[in-house]
Amino acid sequence: MEYAEQYAVPTYGQLGTPFKKRNDTREGFYLRWGRIRFEVAWGPELNIKVLLLVYRSDGIVERFVVDTDPYREEWNSHRRKTRDFFIHPFPKTYGRVTCVKFAYQVHLDERSIPSRYEYIFMDGQHFDDNSYQRRTITADDATLNSWRTYEVDATTLQRDVAWIDQHFDSLHLIPKFTKGLPNHPYHPKRYIHDQIDQVIWEKQQHPGRLVTIKVCVDCIDDTDFVDHLLHAAANGVWVQIQVDWRKMTLTNSDNYTRLKRAGVELLGVFCTPKDPLIEVAPDMHNKFIIFGDHDAILGSFNITFDRWGANWESGMTFHSQGFCRLLDNIFQSIRGAVIQKYYIDPLSPFNLLYTFGRQSLSNGKLYRPHQAILSEIHRARHSIKLCLFLLGTMVGEHGDSVVDA
C-alpha cells in the first residue's frame, strides 16, 4: 500500500505558551497554540491535511482537522506547516491532556494518501510546562494510523449535475424560513428528527447495510438533537459530525462531552487562514445534514433551536440522491479527502454554488459563489432582491465589490 511518508515526513512540532480566550458567552478558557512542520519531496502542488488526536486522562479522544500552507517552495520540493491550531489542556468537564498525536493525508493527483503512522506531537509533560516547547518528531513510539478518507467519484458528480439541470423537480424542494418558533410548519426541527427516525428504521430493516447520518454544522449544542444522534448511533447508524473547533472546545456544555464519551465520530475543524482582508475570525460555517443517501437539509441555521430567539433563519430540504452526493463531496473533503471537481454551466437552471467546492467552467477556471452573485447582478433586467446578514466586498480575481456592482 502507498503511504504519505513516501512524499512528506513531519520534522518538528511547536507548542506555544498558555493564553486566555473567551467564547460567545464570555466564559474564559486557557489554550495553547500548536504548529507542525513537514519536509516534502515534491513540488508545492502537493497538499497535506492533518488529523490531530488529543488523548485525555478519562479515555476521551478528540479529533480535529488542520490545513497546511507551503513555504520555501522549489519545483521538486518544499516545506509545509500547519495553520495554527489550539488545544485546551485542562478542561472542566473532562480529562486533562495525556498525549497529542497526529496523522496526515497527502493530496496528490486528485487522491488522498494516508500516513502509515500516528506520530506524537507532544506528551502530557509538555503541557504541564507553561513555557514554549519545540519537539523533534520521529517514528519512535509511533502507532499505526487507522483513519481513512474517501473520494466521491467525479464522473458520478458530473452526471448528477447534468441530471438535476434537466430534471429540476427531482430535487423535491421544500423551503424552511421561519423565526425561532419550533411549532411553525417551516421550522426545521420536526423534519430533522423525522429523518433521524427514518434512518434508524432503515438500519433496522437492513442490519448489514452501511447507513449514515452526516452532520456538517458550525454548532450543534442542542440537547434534543444530540440525544437523538446518540440514539441513532446506539442502533448501529454511523453518525459522523463536523463542527467548528471553537464550538467543541470553548464550551462547558454537556452535549459535546456526551458525544465525545460515546465515541461518536466528532471532528473539530480549524479554519485559521491569515489574510489582510479577513475582518473577523473565520470559522467552519457550513450548515447541512445528510440523512442516509437520499435526504438532506441545507440552511443558514445552527442546531441550537432553544436559542434561536427572534432570528429569521432560512433553509431548504432535498429528497435527491444526486444532491446528497454533491454535499457528500464537501463532507468528505473536510474529513481529509480531495474535493472532486465538476463542470457547470453558469446559465443552467441549477448550480450547487456552495461556498466550499471546486465547480469549474468549461475552460477549466474555477467558478466560485461570489462570481455567480456578480454575474447574476449584471444579468438582472428588472429587479434585484437581497436578504443578507452582511454586505461588502467579495474578493474575486479582481477584488470586485458587490456594492459597486
Residues 197 and 263 in one domain: yes
- Number of independent structural domains in the chain: 2
Give the cell for residue 359: 465547480
Residues 304 and 184 in one domain: yes
pLDDT at 274 over 80: no
pLDDT at 37 over 80: yes
Residue 340 belongs to some domain of the structure: no
Q: Output the CA–CA distances (angstroms, integers) from residue 12 to 64, 85, 122, in the order listed.
A: 19, 15, 10
User: Nearest 5°: CA angle at 218, between 280 and 57?
Assistant: 105
**Of 294 and 402, which is predicted with more confidence?**
294
Structural domain ending residue among the three candidates 270, 303, 319: 319
- CB-based burial label for 13 (10 Å; 0-12, 13-18, 19+): buried
Structural domain ending residue among the three candidates 319, 335, 352: 319
Residues 24 and 102 in one domain: yes
Please state the rounded mean pLDDT for residues 47-68.
97
pLDDT at residue number 44: 96
What's the pLDDT band for 404 if we cut at 50, 70, 90? confident
Residue 195 belongs to some domain of the structure: yes
Q: Give the Cα separation of 196 and 237 in Å (integer).
A: 10
pLDDT at residue number 400: 63
Residue 19: φ, ψ to 5°: -145, 160
Q: What is the CATH number of the domain that holds 281?
A: 3.30.870.10
Give the cell for residue 64: 480535529
pLDDT at residue number 353: 58
pLDDT at 103 over 70: yes
Q: Give the Cα separation of 33 and 18 in Å (integer).
A: 8
Grid-cell match 491569515, residue found: 274
Please state the rounded mean pLDDT for residues 167-183.
86
Residue 330 belongs to some domain of the structure: no
Q: Give the Cα separation of 398 and 322 in Å (integer).
A: 33
In tens, the pLDDT along 364-387 reads 787 777 777 777 788 888 998 877
Q: What is the torsion angle, in degrees rounded to the nearest 10, for the CA atoms of residue 360, residue 362, residue 364 and residue 367?
A: -30
Residue 313 belongs to some domain of the structure: yes
pLDDT at 167 over 80: yes
Residues 58 and 195 in one domain: no
Q: What is the CATH number of the domain that holds 39?
A: 2.60.40
- Within 13 Å of residue 401, how many CA atoms lie on the same side as its CB? 4
Q: Which of 173-187, 262-276, 348-362 has the lowest mean pLDDT?
A: 348-362
User: What's the mean pLDDT when you consider all of the chain?
Assistant: 91
Residues 308 and 250 in one domain: yes
What's the pLDDT band for 186 if we cut at 50, 70, 90? confident
Residue 392 belongs to some domain of the structure: no
Residues 63 and 137 in one domain: yes
pLDDT at 287 over 90: yes
**Percentage of the chain with pLDDT > 90?**
70
What's the pLDDT band for 350 if we cut at 50, 70, 90? low
In tens, the pLDDT along 196-244 reads 999 999 999 999 999 999 999 999 999 999 999 999 999 999 999 999 9
Share of the chain residues as helix, strand and coil, in percent rounded to the nearest 5? 25, 30, 45
pLDDT at residue number 109: 95
Residues 399, 390 contacting (CB under 8 angstroms)? no
Residues 192 and 121 in one domain: no
Residue 101 belongs to some domain of the structure: yes
What's the pLDDT band for 280 if we cut at 50, 70, 90? low
Residues 272 and 218 in one domain: yes
pLDDT at residue number 68: 97
Residue 369 belongs to some domain of the structure: no
In tens, the pLDDT along 125-149 reads 999 999 999 999 999 999 999 999 9
**Of 201 and 182, which is predicted with more confidence?**
201
- Expressed as residue numbers, the domain containing 108 is 4-144
Q: Output the CA–CA distances (angstroms, integers) from residue 147 to 38, 52, 215, in the order listed.
A: 19, 11, 18
Q: Give the Cα separation of 355 and 331 in Å (integer).
A: 13
User: What end-to-end distance do the CA atoms of the chain give, in Å?
Assistant: 52
pLDDT at residue number 340: 93
**Percentage of the chain with pLDDT > 70?**
93
pLDDT at residue number 392: 65
Please state the rounded mean pLDDT for residues 180-189.
83
Residues 14 and 140 in one domain: yes
pLDDT at residue number 120: 98
What's the pLDDT band for 284 if we cut at 50, 70, 90? confident
pLDDT at residue number 88: 97
Q: Which of 34-38, 97-101, 378-382 has the lowest mean pLDDT?
A: 378-382
Query: Strands, DSSP E only, in 249-312?
Result: 265-269, 287-291, 295-299
pLDDT at residue number 355: 52
Structural domain ending residue among the three candidates 319, 340, 368: 319
